[in-house]
């Protein structure tokens, strides 16, 4: 609020400065990385730019010594998609189930949520040890997938709780009243009405998986996921290729988010086109 002489109170400047700092910390380094990824062929890992080129993006694809970027990228996308699907399936069904109180429901809920507060590195370590103990081979698609689900499922469940908390039961009763079977009720009313929330869960599952390190690191087995590959590169790759990797992976993340948000937006708009 403006004071009488038109100047703003000191809190305005304090919080404006804080917000400015936050934005600088968040986007500054990213911008630097994107700019440096267009470094000329003779440039190094720091400024100044020695010309502008796509050289390092090219190197990303062609050079084998930068590591298995293409392979790890493929694994990460597949893994993230699988995690998103499993997270959606399990948390939607669990969310629906938790609407009806059953014996031990509170216990089951806390048991599921507890994995959010366990240190991720140890969850991954424990999973890897258990696999070894049982004589099963660890791999990104088995132990790695499991490790990531311990992280995404509780999140998905919490989101579904929030979504279902605002969902009025009378829509489902109306469907039953009009003769819908349980399956028709789910398919024709519940799922379509919850769809924006479900897309949100999928998006969350995907992005949480796509950049997960702590739980995956020790449970992924021999083949790396993309974040693990990049992590390894930071220690042994000394060219702007690293920046090119950063730029490409961010674009993928952005793409996923934009697709999710526009589809949610389209659904909401369709439902609430105003009377005007």
Partner 1 sequence: MTQATGSGAIGGGQVEVAGVTKRFGETVAVKELSLTIPHGSYCCLLGPSGCGKTTILRMIAGHENPTTGDVRIGGRSVVGLPQVERGTAMMFQSYALFPHRSVLDNVAFALKVRGIGLPARHNQARELLAKVQLEKFANRLPAELSGGQQQRVALARALITNPRVLLLDEPLSALDEYLRLRMRGELRRVQKELGITFVHVTHTQLEAIAVADMVVVMAQGRIEQAASARDIFVAPRNAYVARFVGGQNVLSGTVESTMNGMAAVASDKGARFAFPVGEIRPARGAKLYGSIRRDRIGVEKMLPGAKPAGGLNTTVGEVHTLENQGSYVKVTIDLDNGEEFVAHVPDDTFFRNPLDIGDKVEARWSASDVKLLDDGPIAFEAAAVEARAASAD
Q: Which residues of this chain interact with partner 1, rule CB under 8 A?
A: 168, 170-171, 173-181, 184, 188-189, 192-193, 267, 270-275
CB of 169 to partner 1, least distance (A): 9
7 or 275: whose CB is closer to partner 1? Answer: 275
Q: 220 to each of 76, 122, 196, 214, how far by Cα in Å?
A: 11, 13, 32, 11
Q: What are phi and psi of 272, to 5 degrees?
A: -130, 30
CB of 170 to partner 1, least distance (A): 4
What is the C-alpha separation between 61 and 74, in angstroms, rounded?
A: 13
CB of 179 to partner 1, least distance (A): 4
CB 211 within 8 A of CB 254: no
CB of 199 to partner 1, least distance (A): 14
CB of 192 to partner 1, least distance (A): 5
Of 205, 198, 235, the C-alpha closest to 66 is 235
190 or 224: whose CB is closer to partner 1? Answer: 190
20 or 265: whose CB is closer to partner 1? Answer: 265
Give 220's contacts (C-beta < 8 A, 6+ positions apart). Answer: 138, 139, 140, 143, 144, 147, 228
2 or 103: whose CB is closer to partner 1? Answer: 103
236 or 272: whose CB is closer to partner 1? Answer: 272
Question: Angle between the 241-271 and 226-236 helix axes, to the nearest 10 degrees?
Answer: 150
């Amino acid at each position: 609020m403006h004071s009488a002489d038109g100047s703003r109170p000191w809190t305005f400047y304090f919080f404006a400065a804080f917000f400015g700092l936050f934005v600088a910390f968040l986007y500054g380094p990213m911008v630097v990385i994107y700019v440096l990824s267009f470094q000329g062929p003779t440039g190094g890992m720091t400024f100044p730019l020695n010309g502008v080129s796509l050289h390092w993006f090219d190197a990303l694809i062609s050079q084998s010594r930068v590591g298995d970027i293409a392979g790890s990228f493929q694994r990460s996308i597949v893994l993230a998609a699988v995690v998103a699907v499993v997270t959606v399936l399990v948390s939607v069904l669990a969310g629906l189930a938790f609407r009806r109180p059953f014996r031990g429901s509170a216990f089951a809920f806390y048991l599921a949520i507890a994995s959010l507060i366990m240190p991720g590195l140890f969850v991954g370590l424990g999973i890897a040890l258990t696999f070894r103990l049982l004589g099963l081979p660890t791999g990104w698609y088995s132990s790695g997938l499991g490790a990531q689900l311990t992280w995404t499922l509780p999140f998905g469940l919490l989101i579904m709780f929030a979504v279902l908390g605002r969902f009025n039961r009378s829509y489902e009763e109306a469907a039953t009243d009009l003769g819908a079977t349980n399956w028709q009720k789910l398919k024709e009313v519940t799922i379509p009405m919850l769809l924006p929330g479900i897309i949100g869960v999928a998006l969350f599952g995907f992005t949480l998986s796509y950049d997960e390190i702590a739980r995956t690191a020790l449970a992924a087995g021999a083949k790396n996921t993309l974040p693990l590959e990049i992590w390894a590169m930071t220690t042994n790759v000394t060219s702007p290729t690293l920046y090119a990797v950063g730029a490409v992976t961010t674009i993928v993340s952005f793409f996923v988010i934009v697709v999710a948000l526009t589809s949610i937006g389209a659904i909401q708009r369709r439902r609430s086109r105003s009377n005007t």
